[in-house]
C-alpha cells in the first residue's frame, strides 16, 4: 500500500513540474493557428485504441478528431515545421516537453507494474 502512495506522489510531482514548465513558457506564447494535422493524428490513434480496450467513447472521440482533421485538410501544412527551422528557444521547449512526457510515461508504466 505504501508503494502505491509513493508512486502516486511521484506521478503528481511530475505532473506539477510539467504544469510549472508550461506556465513558465506560456508567458511569452505567440498565438498559433489550430494544427488540424494533429487533430487527425490523435483521432487515428484513439480510434483503434478505444476499440481494442472496448472504450467506445474513446473511439467516438477519435472518429470526431479524425473527421475534424480531414475536413480541414487544406490547412495541414500551415503549422508544419522542420526541426532545422525552429529557433533555439523552441527547440529547448520541445526537448523539455518530450523529455517530461517520456518520464511521465515511464513512471506510469512503473506504477502500473508496482500495483499489478
Q: What is the pLDDT of residue 63?
A: 95
Q: What is the pLDDT of residue 47?
A: 93
Q: What is the pLDDT of residue 55?
A: 87
**Grid coordinates given for 50:** 478505444
Residue-by-residue pLDDT tens, the chain, 116 positions:
788 888 888 888 998 998 888 877 777 666 777 889 999 999 999 999 988 888 889 999 999 999 999 999 898 887 777 788 888 988 998 899 999 999 998 998 888 888 87
Cell 528557444 sits at which residue?
A: 89
**Grid coordinates given for 26:** 506560456
Q: Do 65 and 37 form a contact (C-beta atoms < 8 A)?
A: no
Q: Do 87 and 70 form a contact (C-beta atoms < 8 A)?
A: no
Q: What is the pLDDT of residue 103?
A: 92
Cell 474513446 sits at which residue?
A: 58
pTM: 0.55
Instruction: Please report the DSSP string for 5-64 in residue order.
Output: HHHHHHHHHHHHHHHHHHHHHGGGPPP----HHHHHHHHHHHHHHHHHTT-HHHHHHHHH
Amino acid at each position: 500500500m505504501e508503494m502505491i502512495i509513493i508512486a502516486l506522489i511521484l506521478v503528481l510531482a511530475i505532473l506539477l513540474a510539467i504544469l510549472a514548465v508550461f506556465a513558465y513558457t506560456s508567458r511569452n506564447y505567440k498565438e498559433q493557428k489550430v494544427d488540424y494535422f494533429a487533430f487527425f493524428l490523435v483521432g487515428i490513434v484513439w480510434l483503434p485504441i478505444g476499440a481494442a480496450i472496448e472504450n467506445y467513447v474513446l473511439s467516438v472521440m477519435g472518429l470526431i478528431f479524425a473527421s475534424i482533421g480531414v475536413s480541414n485538410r487544406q490547412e495541414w501544412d500551415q503549422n508544419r515545421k522542420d526541426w532545422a527551422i525552429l529557433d533555439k528557444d523552441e527547440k529547448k521547449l520541445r526537448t523539455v516537453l518530450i523529455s517530461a512526457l517520456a518520464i511521465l510515461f515511464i513512471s506510469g508504466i512503473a506504477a502500473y507494474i508496482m500495483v499489478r
